[in-house]
Amino acid sequence: MQNPFSARLVTKATGDPLKSANLYKRFLQIGAGEIPVSAKTFSSCALAAASSTTGARIQYNSRPPYLQFCYDFNMKAVLDTPPEGARPGVQHVTVDAGHAGQRLDNFLLTALKGVPRTHVYRLLRKGEVRVNKGRSKPDYRLKEGDVVRLPPVRRAESSGKNLAAVAAASGRLDWLLERVVYEDEQLLVIDKPSGLAVHGGSGVSVGLIEALRELRPHTPFLELAHRLDRDTSGCLLIAKSRPALMHLHDLLREGGLDKRYLALVTGPWRGGSRHVDAALEATRPQSGERRVEVDEEGKESASDFTPREKFTDTALVEVHLLTGRMHQARVHAAHIGHPIAGDDKYGDRDFNQRMKRQGLARLFLHAARLEFRHPLGGRKMRIEAALPIELERVLENLRAKPGVTSPA
């Protein structure tokens, strides 16, 4: 039976310390263009950390070709496909109608995926990126027909893209497509499960958007119109074209995207609706964990809380976010003395423990409804995602106890 894994030498090592690697020595000894490798060697390389720029480079292939990557002998993987294209020459890209109106820096962050953000801005400052042969600022709005010069850069693609590709090929992500609650030619709404990040990042290999792109390889454009916290479930809006994305961003800035959440908060809740107008500021303490705090010098933020069902020591409320700040619902709820159940960052520990005894094993925050004008034609859209069954069960347990009252 043919070995399903193989490796071939791409470039030779230039530094003496690298020549002690066993696989590299095998290449030198037998002079083979391609040699079989064990599944253990292949999988250990696949799990290696991303990005590298020096040393002997070996391309690994699986048959069928679900995965292809480079491995060099400073013991890190270069997740380039193909590896020879990791540092292409100068490219000239003509802006099409779909990218017209986009800021130059945002265009570059997409066109130069795998290049750190700081390096992209350095390229702009140094004038290595040109538009129509001239220097341009990051906030320049591209026009159809503009020619953008992309300099040669080394790209270290995140391992998440490759992991998502493998998972999609194996069918392990098919369940995600079953959570699409609305779709047309311009946009898509998916009922995001709790625990899944919307995109890959620090400590997260694969996010929802990377997985969706692998599941929809023939959909040329898929971008998040807004975000949900990793532990929040519910309606997530995704644009399928650049004009649709720009329209949705305009709606967000102008307050035209109505977002309604359901949250279980500590009680008792007295009275009716409450309006919270408290500026928020994101901070990063010495621990490195990012937090959001109420701060007069922060960004303007406003939320409305309306009780939907009251219990003895808790309440189910609808949260209407009038602005879209990070962790806004959670921080505003804590600010008025009603933190959300299951919130380990801003919540009440004793309350969280009581809710665990009611069966709660996650943050009780769900993006239940979106209302907005469609980017094509302007018809009014109302899209809902039902409360997940694990949260419904918590409410059923609370209703089984005496003390349930109707909202005031």
Which residues are annotated as catalytic? 229
Instruction: Decide: 191 and 368 in contact? Cβ < 8 Å.
Output: no
Instruction: Decide: 18 and 59 in contact? Cβ < 8 Å.
Output: no
Instruction: Decide: 90 and 150 in contact? Cβ < 8 Å.
Output: yes
- 159 vs 200: CA distance, rounded Å: 9
List the one residue out of 177, 172, 171 whose CA is nearest residue 190.
177
Instruction: Decide: 263 and 333 in contact? Cβ < 8 Å.
Output: yes
Main-chain phi, psi angles of 68, to 5 degrees: -145, 130
Instruction: Decide: 192 and 179 in contact? Cβ < 8 Å.
Output: yes
Helix (H) or strand (E) holding 206: none
List the one residue out of 224, 312, 321, 302 whose CA is nearest residue 263.
321
List the one residue out of 260, 263, 365, 383 whose CA is nearest residue 321.
260
Half-sphere exposure at residue 356, Cβ-oriented, CA atoms within 13 angstroms? 10
Tokens for 251, please give them.
Answer: 């709606």
HEC-encoded secondary structure of 60-123: EEECCCCCEEEEECCCEEECCCCHHHHCCCCEEEECCHHHCCCEHHHHHHHHCCCCCHHHHHHH
Which residue's entry shows tokens 């109505």?
A: 258
372 three-class SS: strand
98 three-class SS: helix
Instruction: Decide: 138 and 121 in contact? Cβ < 8 Å.
Output: yes
| Sequence-ordered alpha helix ranges (H) in 281-405 | 328-335, 349-357, 389-399
Computed on alpha carbons and rounded to an integer, the radius of gyration of the chain in Å comes to 25
Taking CA atoms, 211 is separated from 100, 197, 204, 277, 302, in Å, by 27, 11, 12, 36, 33
Tokens for 169, please give them.
Answer: 């090929």
List the one residue out of 265, 294, 264 whose CA is nearest residue 281.
294
305 three-class SS: strand
